[in-house]
Chains A and B, each alone.
Chain A
Amino acid sequence: MQLEYIGAFDVVLGVLARFWPVWIALVVVMGASFAYKKRLGLYGQLFDSSVGIVGVGICLFWLFTAIFASTISPFNPLVQIPIMKDALPGAVEPQSGLVYLFGGDKLARDVFSRMVYGSQIVLIIAPAATGFALMVGITLGLPAGYYGGRIDTVLSFLANLVLAFPVILLFYLLVTPGIMETPIPYAMAGLFFLFPIVFFSVLFWTRYKKRPDRLYILLGLTLIIGGWVYAGLVFDADPFRIIHIDPNQLNIFVAVVFASSPGVFRIVRGLVMDIKTRDYVAAAQTRGESPWYIMLWEILPNARGPLIVDACLRIGYTTILLGTLGYFGLGLAPESPDWGTAIKDASRLLRSFIHPALPPTIALMSFVLGLNLLADSLREQSMKD
């Protein structure tokens, strides 16, 4: 049976039309941000430069794509329709009359839908892993920079140890199917996921020690929510069955957090060593504040600028790492629609077909580019102050 095709112009129009929820959301959010940019602080200042606008735009585009993925994509990313094997872009699927906008891959799945669904995986894992890495890095970097001495020596040595590992080797060792049979990933997850709970507990404790009414509410909330998420993620024992993570995703998550927290640690440590010489820290010390109060409520808020910039860059870098994992077929399921796996599958067949390779590569590149542009303009803006 012969496939029908639509022209290149129709393909472009079709793609633009499929993204309609994203365009609406983008117009609403960008319009509102423009209108109220004076009141939005650092985020509002981003809209003063073209680089910032482009960066925010690209990041929001992928964010909304991930949110509305099921509306945007015409096909299920995992379903194979045999007749569409290696179909060229614009091929019409005979049964439903819908179009394979970017063609079909070697397993006859819709490349466009896979690209759209791939954004979900990246936009969940990359920011979450970066968040955990920030927590671990901050919680360990603050005392290392503030106290110095032996704590600093030990922690810095450990951080350098992890940093001396080439990333790829680390992943080959930590993200193998075999390691799932050992308790190592769960032990590491148990350790890393403890850090946010400890961080927020200490944060509230130091601030509201003298005000039990607030303290007990905040501490209670931290422990209940933290404990719930902790039970769901590490032991897969969420009583309400809402929080659940596949073992192989947990493995990837842990490996990515492990690989990127020493970097955060080094940055936080350097910032703390710089900031602790300031007058307001000396004033707090004279007032008799506890060391952890000074670290969390005097030093950390003043280190936020570089940390936000670093977080943006780090999300981009984590996206690249996830792609690397997919490219080497580590951790993620072979049929998973994430961009790295798609690039791996397509790059083996570049001699015969190029169309399955381009959408995931361009998607990954544009998302990382958006984050880098965002980070760049954030840095420019925070330098102006």
Chain B
Amino acid sequence: MLSFILRRLGTMALTMLCLTLVVFFLINLDPNLKKLAISQTEMHTSAEQLESWLVNHGYRQNFFSRYGQWLGIVPKQPVTDPATGKPARRFSFCNDPVEPTFSGVLQGDFGCSTKFKTTVASKLFPALGATGILMFWVLVVMVPISLLIGILAGMREGSRTDRTLSVASIASTATPEYVSGVIFTVIFASWLGLLNGSAASASRGITFYNFTLPVMTLAIYGIGYIARMTRASMVEVMTQQYIRTARLKGLSFGSVVVKHALRNALIAPFTVIMLQFPWLLTGVVIVEVMFRYQGFGYTLVEAAGNNDIDLLLGCSLVSVFIVLITQLISDVGYAFLNPRIRVQ
């Protein structure tokens, strides 16, 4: 087991290395750098001034050395101030080192956000915290509801309950966040006036009034999917021999479901819930933009829209990490939950 986890962690590190290299390459394409220079300098700058801005801020150093600096395996070089000729900070608003030092992601320095004029860490981690709160409530809503629907539907395959709930869950998987968000806002905010169509005030304090719509919107897409998986697994368990045995020895249907079927039926949904995280990540971006909630997704969109190189790299690192770690947890957890699976 330990060697399995270690090997997986090794693959994970390799994957992250490759992915960050790809992201680094794509963000630092020449048109993107030009856009960054244009947005960072005054209006009406000539091409030479843009170029000199890029050189002065270290964007024209060798690609691999810059990637190494970001990663922290090559010492970060300070730039030379053109006026004084002395080494200077790249950006005045960050505490970049003035001497060459190892200061990259591996040392915990995520770099400098050009859009928000602060360090990436001071922007990214509060945003992650805000998204964590959103995710927590989404999971609290999503998991019990979807498991309940799945179990009720899968208990008696082909019954009327099963068919109704199955169609309902298909409908919910057919509703992406930007569709359900609009529909819910129309119903609950515009017509009924019960809930707030914007979660901007949720950063100051979460209330039922401003937080229900984002949570609902984000949960609805996942509910259908998890419910369908739970149903499939429940249907399979209910046809097993031991269920028939339990029924034949005179147990009531309810206690067969609760005592014998439930535990075995919940193994597969666990994996599915874990693998839902990457999907939730996309949903989070849509929902946070739609309801103006200042979390991770909002930061990602701002970073991408303004070519904020270091912030976008930080965001991608975080999201790739989340995807890979949930995959690992789902594999390991599956092996733990299901005694029939052995990992070598």
Q: In whole angstroms, what is the CA distance A174 to B32 when docked?
A: 12
- Would you give the 0/1 interface string for B2-18, flagging 1 where the beta carbon is closer than 8 Å to chain A? 00000000010001001
Of B50-58, B73-81, B281-289, B335-343, the one touching chain A: B281-289
B31–A320 touching, CB < 8 Å:
no
B315 in contact (CB, < 8 A): yes
- CB–CB B174/A369 < 8 A: yes
Chain A residues with Cβ below 8 Å from B304 are 169, 172-173
Interface flag for A357 (CB, 8 Å): yes
Whether B186 contacts A169 by the Cβ 8 Å rule is no
Are A347 and B182 neighbours in the complex by a CB distance under 8 Å?
yes
A residues 291-324 in Cβ contact with B at 8 Å:
316, 320, 323-324
- Which residue from B171, B185, B297 sits with its C-beta under 8 Å from A350? B185
Are A168 and B300 interface neighbours, CB within 8 A?
yes
Closest B residue to A320 using CB positions: B176
**A164 engages B282 (CB within 8 Å):** no
B176-201 CB contact bits vs A (8 Å, 1 = yes)?
10110111011001100000010000
Q: Are B278 and A166 in contact (CB under 8 A)?
A: yes
A residues in contact with B22, CB < 8 Å: 161
A279 located at the interface, meaning its Cβ lies under 8 Å from any Cβ of chain B in the complex? no
Min Cβ gap B184→A in Å is 10
Q: Name which of A18-26, A89-97, A176-184 contacts chain B.
A: A176-184
Whether A161 and B183, one on each chain, are in contact in the complex, defined by CB atoms closer than 8 angstroms, is no
B258 lies within 8 A of chain A by Cβ: no
A167 sits at the interface (CB 8 A): yes
Does A365 interact with chain B (Cβ within 8 Å)? yes
Residues of B within 8 A of A169 (CB): 23, 300, 304, 315-316, 319
A contacts with B, residue count (CB < 8 A): 46
In the complex, which residues of chain A have a beta carbon less than 8 angstroms from the beta carbon of B190? 350-351, 354
- Given A166-B281, A168-B300, A182-B30, are A324 and B182 neighbors across the interface (CB < 8 Å)? no
* Chain B min CB distance to A313 (Å): 9
Task: List, in ascending order, chain A residues with CB within 8 A of B301's CB.
Answer: 172, 328
Q: In this assembly, does B170 line the interface, its C-beta being within 8 Å of a C-beta of chain A?
A: yes
A46 to B166 alpha-carbon distance, docked (Å): 17
Give the distance to chain B from A173, nearest Cβ to Cβ, in Å: 4
Q: How many residues of B contact A (CB 8 A)?
A: 51
B27 sits at the interface (CB 8 A)? yes
Q: Which of B175, B179, B315 has the most CB of A within 10 A?
A: B179
* Binary contact readout B270-283 vs A (1 if CB under 8 angstroms, 0 otherwise): 00000000100110
A354-B186 contact, Cβ under 8 Å, with A166-B323, A182-B30, A182-B31: yes
Establish whether residues A324 and B176, one from each chain, have CB atoms under 8 Å apart when the complex forms.
yes
Q: Is B173 an interface residue (CB 8 A)?
A: yes
Q: Which of B250-269 contact A (CB under 8 A)?
A: none
Asked whether B167 is an interface residue with its Cβ less than 8 Å from the other chain, the reply is yes
B19 touches A161 (CB 8 A): yes
- In the complex, how many angstroms separate the beta carbon of B254 from the nearest chain A beta carbon? 28
Complex interface residues of chain B between 12 and 62 (CB less than 8 A to chain A): 15, 18-19, 22-23, 26-27, 29-32, 34-35
Q: CA separation between A164 and B16, bound complex, in Å? A: 9
Return the CB mask of A349-382 against B: 1 if under 8 Å, else 0.
Answer: 0110010011001001100110111001000000
Contact: A178 with B281, CB < 8 Å? Answer: no
Which listed residue (A160, A168, A179, A358) contacts B15, Cβ 8 A?
A160
Instruction: List residues of chain A with CB under 8 Å of any chain B CB.
Output: 51, 157, 160-161, 163-169, 172-174, 176-179, 181-182, 184, 316, 320, 323-324, 327-328, 340, 343-344, 346-347, 350-351, 354, 357-358, 361, 364-365, 368-369, 371-373, 376
Q: Could you give 24 example pairs across A and B, Cβ below 8 Å?
A: A157-B11, A157-B15, A164-B278, A165-B19, A166-B285, A168-B286, A169-B316, A169-B319, A172-B301, A174-B26, A177-B31, A181-B31, A182-B29, A323-B176, A323-B178, A324-B286, A327-B286, A328-B301, A343-B178, A347-B178, A354-B186, A368-B174, A369-B171, A369-B174
Contact residues of B with A, CB < 8 Å? Answer: 11, 15, 18-19, 22-23, 26-27, 29-32, 34-35, 166-167, 170-171, 173-176, 178-179, 181-183, 185-186, 189-190, 197, 278, 281-282, 285-286, 289-290, 297, 300-301, 304, 312, 315-316, 319-320, 323-324, 327
Closest 6 CB pairs of A and B: A178-B31, A369-B174, A172-B304, A368-B174, A173-B26, A320-B176
